[in-house]
Amino acid sequence: MSQQIWFITGSSRGLGHALVTAALEAGHVVVATARRPETLAETFKEYGDRIHPLALDVTSAEAARDAVEAALERFGRIDVLVNNAGYANVSPIETSDDDDFRAQFETNFWGVYHVTKAALPALRRQRAGTVVQISSIGGRVGGSPGIASYQAAKFAVDGFSRVLATETAPFGVRVMVVEPSGFATDWAGSSMTVHPIPDAYDETVGAMNRRVRQSTDGAAGDPRRAAEIIVRTVHRDRVPTHLLLGANAATMALDHSRGQLAEATAWEAVSRSADFSEPYPAPLPPEGTAA
């Protein structure tokens, strides 16, 4: 495998840090970006000039353009772009602070938009490259109480990436959305602020917070394995449009897809009847059928 230039956001910890390690161990060059990248050069000093830390606040379109330009000036190309930077805070929608909700969306969606858009001219000129969007199984299944901003942003990333894949396919650019379940990172630790949860939401947001985010058992996923799987997958001639990572992610995705198929099938006649050319009215499915 020839040496690639990887550009990874959110590299200072968690899955991003593991991805930097995996890409370096595979022999690649990594532009590792973070808001405060000072420690990266020291942590990865054994890799010499194959690690290039850069400061980047992904919520700034100008900063994204500057970082991408710096990478291109240094290495001449970007082969793999990984949009990993992201975080979630916990609060019911009703009591969410509007500024906090918006700030999460700025990082989790607009950060992906800014960095991707900044890199697209180079990827188009190269007529090659892979864009890896780190999403979440929640960005496919949704419904996790307390993290509406995070999950809404991940749904937006998926929609954005589907269009991106269609538009850039003629240029040889590949797009892969990664959908992990819970991994042993600090996503639910120091990176997460849990805002006060009113009693009315204790059985939803509170219960989820206690069961998952404050569990002493820890998450099931190994970020090192996840990172290695991503690097190995990018090496393939063809990549999946969506890569599920974790046993829970695989189970949840399959259950969700089966449920969607059953519901669409049950309501098919009603759905079709909205067109002029179809029989109308169509009977509604019996109560209790595929809700």
Active site residues: 135, 150, 154
- CB atoms inside a 10 Å sphere around CB 271: 12
3-class SS at 51?
strand
Q: Which letter does DSSP use for residue 275 in this model? A: S
Distances in Å between the Cα of 17 and the Cα atoms of 5, 43, 47, 174 are 16, 10, 14, 23
Cα 242 from Cα 176, distance rounded (Å) = 6
Among 182, 253, 180, residue whose Cα is nearest residue 217: 182
Cα 161 from Cα 138, distance rounded (Å) = 16
